[in-house]
Structure 1
Amino acid sequence: MLFIRYRRGDAVRYGVLEGDAVRPLDGDLFGAYRREAQAVPLAEVALLAPVAPGKIVAVGNNFADRAREAGLPAPTVPLLFLKPPSAVIGTGEPIRLPPQSARVEHGAELAAVIGRPARWVSPEEALRHVLGYTCANDVTARDIVDAEGLWTRGKSFDTFCPLGPWIATTLNPADALITCRVNGAVRQMTSTHDMLFSVAQLVAFVSSVMTLLPGDVLLTGTPAGAGPLADGDEVEVEIEGLGVLRNPVQRDER
């Protein structure tokens, strides 16, 4: 099943994508809901980020090739950081390059959307707490991160967390190909099979630190090949069996 979040007129709603139509949902995506009888043409709605998360938990260096590329040892436990909900945008919305940074990079990732509260769950039960998966781009002001030795400011600018285009509930997170293209040229291409920590292990680990709530998003790490973005670029994150997240890149004028 593919869940979308969309705007039609002044209303923002969740729906189920059915070919070139949307079946609106009446109720709570993370609770009880029913599909409405009347479908809406997809062409009549504007896709938004598929979820409005309460928090975004991200994982650094979760691919061995990425750790080697950064000149760092492979971590022995997941390295966590947070991105603010204000960084979220949907497919088609522009990534804005802040004037404070001279090098902004893309980072294609698989994102897990939490569907049920999770606290101290085991890896064996962790995926039962996941509603589904979406494409993500962990955009980073690399020069700021390198200068400060911290992740927060360089990863928290507005528009630095594109998500979309929808939530897929049947994806196998253990073996999905992640591809990133900039202006059509492939920059990143790696399978989630190469993650150091699986999605199940990550959900379990994070739930031992903080309660994961419905609608929270877990970014599971980017592979090697993260590279610079420039004004006028178009960046695509594609996950096999899920879809394509596509965003133009623009300079942010104060």
Structure 2
Amino acid sequence: MKLISFKTGNKDKIGVLKGKEITEISSSMIQAIKSSNIDKLESLGSYNFEDINVSVPISPSKIVCVGLNYTDHAKELDMDIPEEPIIFIKPSTAAIGHCDNIIYPNNSTQVDYEAELGIVISKEADHVSSNDASDYIGGYTVINDVTARDLQRKDVQWTRAKSFDTFAPIGPCIETELDPMDQNITLKINSKFKQNSNTKNIIFDVYELIEFISNIMTLKAGDIISAGTPPGVGPMNVGDTVEVEIEGIGILKNFLKNDNK
């Protein structure tokens, strides 16, 4: 089931997306991803996807990202498979939604795309085993781990390069029923394919990631783990349209704009 956050007028709403039709439900997104009976929630009306403004599907307290987590990406870079996950954090202020603008920072000369699978945490996870990890997953979403690559190369830490406002597009929805380990993942710039792989190439699977991360930090309901990017990472330019698609979830579209502040 696809759950979506959206606005009509100035009102924030939650709905179930089927094709192009959205049925509004009487629930918060946290309640919805925890619920085993979403179909029994009260319906508050219906909308067409083309007539609403899509919001960030959920508000994470943090986005925990994983580096070098695809075998084909490691091969592309001629790098060894890591012995354990390489992680970093994006702040919640980086999150934007479907069709929002990615802002190109004035102090960067290379802003890259990275198509990624997002794991949405449904309840507090602290020292969770991989065997139990599925109990803490509320669904999956699409993420673009936008990176100021020149600043990443310059800095010892990755924080600045990964944390600019708008550098974590998420959406367009949360799919609650998905096999995370066999879905095509692609990225297009201006309708031209740049990344094309499958989540079966992930090195540390979603359950291993939850175990590893939850043994370092407590994951809160609504937090997102971004599970790494496949090969083909490269730069975006102002004026570009970027589309990340994960089979079974949908297409996350964003536009690259100048920083006019």
TM-score (structure 2 length as normaliser): 0.92
Matched, 1:210 2:217: yes
Confirm or deny: 8 A CA contact 1:114 1:215 kept in the other structure: yes
- Match among 123, 144, 151 for residue 144 of structure 1: 151
Aligned length: 254
Deviation at 1:161, TM superposition (A): 0.4
**Aligned mates of 1:35, 1:196 — CA distance in 2:** 41
| Structure 1 residue 220: Cα displacement | 0.2
1:236 aligned counterpart, secondary structure? strand
Q: CA deviation at 1:253?
A: 2.1
Q: Does 1:225 align with 2:232?
A: yes
CA distance in 2, matches of 1:98, 1:71: 30
Tell me if 1:118 matches 2:87: no
1:73 equivalent in alignment to 2:80: yes
For 1:74-113, what aligned pairs fall within 5 Å after superposition?
74-113=81-120
1:7 is matched with 7
Quote the residue 1:29 is aligned against.
29
Q: Quickly say closer, same or farther: Cα 1:43–1:126, change in 2 above 3 A.
A: same
3-state SS of the aligned residue for 1:117?
coil
Indicate yes or no: 2:118 matched with 1:134.
no
Specify which of 235, 239, 249 is matched with residue 242 of structure 2. 235
**1:62-114 deviation per Cα after TM superposition (whole angstroms, max 9, x unaligned):** 11332344454321111110001111111111111101110110000000111
In structure 1, the residue corresponding to 2:134 is in which secondary structure? helix
Q: Which runs of 5+ in 2 are unaligned?
A: none
**Distance of 1:184 and 1:37 partners within structure 2:** 36
Matching residue within 196, 200, 203 for 1:196: 203
Tell me if structure 2 keeps the 8 A contact 1:60–1:80.
yes
Aligned-residue identity in percent? 39
Q: Is 1:187 the equivalent of 2:194?
A: yes
The Cα of 1:181 is off from its aligned counterpart by: 0.7
- Of stretches 242-251 and 34-43 in structure 1, the one that deviates more from structure 2 is 34-43
The partner residue of 1:244 within 236, 251, 254 is 251
- Whether 1:155 aligns to 2:146 is no
Q: 8 Å contact 1:5–1:50 — kept in the other structure?
A: yes
CA RMSD of aligned residues (A): 1.5
Structure 1: runs of 5+ lacking an equivalent = none
Indicate conservation of the 8 Å contact 1:23/1:35, yes or no.
no
2:132 is paired with a residue of what secondary structure?
Answer: helix
For 1:16, the equivalent position in structure 2 comes to 16
Asked if the contact 2:26/2:44 (under 8 Å) is kept, the reply is: no
SS at match of 1:158: coil
**Which residue is equivalent to 2:183?**
176
Offset from partner CA, 1:212-245 (integer Å, 9 cap, x none) = 1111011000011110000111111011111111
Contact 1:96-1:250 within 8 A present in 2 as well: yes
- What is the rounded CA distance, in whole Å, between the counterparts of 2:206 and 2:45 in structure 1? 36
Instruction: Report the alpha carbon displacement of residue 159 of structure 1 after superposing the two structures with TM.
Output: 0.8
What is the deviation of 1:18? 3.1
Decide whether aligned partners of structure 1 residues 245 and 207 sit closer, same or farther in structure 2, where only a CA change above 3 A counts.
same
Deviates more, 1:107-116 or 1:26-35: 26-35
Deviates more, 1:138-147 or 1:44-53: 44-53
Are the counterparts in 2 of residues 108 and 237 from structure 1 also a CA contact under 8 Å?
yes
Q: CA deviation at 1:20?
A: 3.0
The aligned amino acid for 1:4 is I
Amino acid at match of 1:172: D
* Aligned residue identity for 2:104: L
In 2: Cα distance, 1:52 partner to 1:116 partner: 14
